[in-house]
Amino acid sequence: MRYQKDIVERLCLGLAGISQELSTAFHNEFSAPRHALSEFSHQVNAHYGNLINDKPKVDAVGVPEHNEDIPYWIEDLERVVLPVLRERMKK
């Protein structure tokens, strides 16, 4: 997939701000080549849904339909998930 490496690096940076372990686990799971943006983004959403135990909340973010939508998808995904993870790490 064309932008997979860039997406993984960007999402790893966001997770590293919370936990290096979460970032490493994400990198290990999503570095293997995927063939389609749709397949990849659904898998990423499922992973993030599992991180916060709220798959419907992450599903509401949706997935990018076109390459131009990727930055917005990443922003939306992080806006939903990262605050929840930050709160959990404080406890």
Query: Residue 66, CB half-sphere, CA atoms under 13 Å: how many?
Result: 2
Distances, alpha carbon 9 to alpha carbons 24, 25, 54, in Å: 11, 12, 23
Q: Which pLDDT score, from 0 to 100, does residue 1 have?
A: 85
Per residue in 52-71, pLDDT tens? Answer: 999 999 999 999 999 999 99
Per residue in 15-52, pLDDT tens? Answer: 999 999 999 999 999 999 999 999 999 999 999 999 99
**Taking Cα atoms as reference points, which of 81, 7, 69 lies closest to residue 40?**
7
Q: Which amino acid is at 25?
A: A
Question: Would you say 13 and 82 are in contact if contact means Cβ atoms under 8 Å apart?
Answer: no
Q: Which pLDDT score, from 0 to 100, does residue 64 have?
A: 97
**Taking Cα atoms as reference points, which of 60, 49, 56 lies closest to residue 84?**
49
